């Protein structure tokens, strides 16, 4: 595991660095204070871009961000994501690396968390719909691709809302299904909607030490201001080679 970076712990103060082999300490650093817990994980450049010129977040991250990305997925019962991000980033069902499965075993979780995809139109790649574990898919009665989703998805994995997706109902359905640790990976529009609904408990935000300019979106996008703004408390901060990885607890 020589390619796995050591993470310096800036907050809480006085903690030893988290070494490459210390998956348990990294899991502890990101432990949730209660359940259910809705956590988002996003990245931004120094000038606020959520993606690089290719429209993907993968082009602005590095080894430290990837280590935390894998650890948060290993924590999650389910990974919630918007359909646009699924298509742009080439999403498939998350796979937990072997060295991160012990914590899942202790929590009684299966080896790999499923995806949960929010889609207005139902336009998802066949590979995602046929993945193992099968995804949860949330859409509306007006989705052009609804019939196709019904053909491909197993019973119980398709949630159809009348008129518009109700994100509070989505969270409730996942929790009722025994999936209280919910990790949101974007995109920015879904994250904005969750914040407007005051549903998000935590934002994990990586600050990537690059400047890209350009027309990239911010990590959170919404048509209206949050009124009042959502206050945040810095609960944890890791560092590696200029990359800062913050844990922000949100107070709606």
Rg (CA), the chain: 18
Distance separating alpha carbons of residues 106 and 154, to the nearest angstrom: 28
Please give the pLDDT value at position 3: 86
The structure tokens listed for 114 are 């499923």
Distance separating alpha carbons of residues 23 and 218, to the nearest angstrom: 30
Q: Each residue of 121-148: pLDDT tens digit?
A: 999 999 999 999 999 999 999 999 999 9
Domains and CATH numbers, the chain: 33-251 (3.40.430.10)
Global confidence as pTM:
0.96
Average pLDDT over residues 97-104: 95
Please give the pLDDT value at position 252: 52
pLDDT over 70, % of the chain = 99
Residue 39 has pLDDT above 60, yes or no: yes
Residue 212 has pLDDT above 60, yes or no: yes
Whole-number average pLDDT of the chain:
96
Query: At CA 169, angle to CA 166 and CA 172, rounded to 5?
Result: 155
Average pLDDT over residues 21-46: 97
* Polymer length of the chain: 252
Residue 90 — φ and ψ, nearest 5°?
65, 45
| Upper half-sphere CA count for residue 229 (Cβ side, 13 Å) | 3
Please give the pLDDT value at position 164: 93
Please give the pLDDT value at position 86: 96
């Amino acid at each position: 595991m020589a390619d796995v970076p050591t993470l310096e712990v800036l907050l809480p103060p006085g903690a030893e660095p988290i070494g490459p082999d210390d998956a348990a300490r990294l899991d502890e650093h990101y432990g949730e204070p209660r359940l259910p817990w809705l956590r988002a994980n996003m990245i931004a450049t120094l000038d606020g871009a959520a993606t690089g010129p290719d429209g993907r977040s993968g082009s602005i991250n590095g080894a430290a961000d990837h280590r935390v990305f894998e650890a948060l997925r290993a924590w999650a019962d389910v990974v919630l994501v918007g359909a646009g991000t699924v298509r742009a980033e080439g999403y498939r069902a998350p796979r937990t690396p072997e060295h991160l499965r012990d914590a899942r075993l202790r929590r009684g979780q299966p080896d790999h968390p499923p995806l949960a995809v929010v889609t207005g139109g139902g336009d998802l790649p066949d590979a995602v719909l046929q993945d193992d574990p099968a995804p949860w898919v949330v859409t509306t009665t007006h989705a052009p691709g609804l019939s196709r989703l019904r053909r491909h998805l197993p019973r119980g994995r398709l949630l159809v809302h009348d008129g518009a997706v109700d994100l509070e109902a989505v969270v409730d359905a996942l929790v009722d299904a025994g999936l209280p640790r919910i990790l949101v990976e974007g995109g920015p529009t879904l994250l904005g909607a969750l914040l407007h609904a005051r549903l998000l408990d935590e934002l994990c935000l990586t600050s990537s030490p690059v400047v890209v300019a350009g027309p990239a979106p911010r990590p959170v996008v919404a048509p209206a201001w949050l009124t009042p703004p959502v206050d945040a408390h810095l609960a944890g901060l890791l560092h590696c080679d200029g990359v800062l990885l913050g844990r922000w607890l949100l107070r709606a």
